[in-house]
Amino acid sequence: MSIVEGILLATIVPLLCILVKAPTAWDRLLAYNSAANRVTAVLAISSVVLDQAVLLDVAIIYAALSFIGVVALARFMERGEGFR
């Protein structure tokens, strides 16, 4: 199970490279969304492996907050704000 955690952590690194240099703002938003999903999964795996139930609550709050942030930023950019 720790191998799965390592793979998930390793796939965050190219997403961070995309997050730094991507052609458009939507690419960066998409990379942030994917990285947040992987962080949520890593928190859940850590909670089961380390046998600490508190990390599951942290994972739920992280997923909800990242979802709200991504949807709010997408609606913000849809109206053309931030480009002028």
Partner 1 sequence: MIGTVLAACGAFLVAVGTFGIVRFRDVYSRLQASGVSDNAGLALVLLGLILYEGWSPTDWTLLFLLLLMLVTNPIATHSIAKSAFVQRHTGEDSP
Chain residues in the site for partner 1 (CB under 8 A): 1, 3-4, 7-8, 11, 14-15, 17-18, 23-27, 29-31, 33-34, 37-38, 40-41, 44-45, 47-48, 53, 56-57, 59-60, 63-64, 67, 70-71, 74-75, 77-78, 80, 83-84
> Within the chain, how many helices (H) and strands (E) appear?
4, 0
Residue 54 to residues 10, 18, 44, 46: CA-CA distances in angstroms? Answer: 24, 31, 10, 10
Min dist. Cβ of residue 50 to partner 1 (A): 12
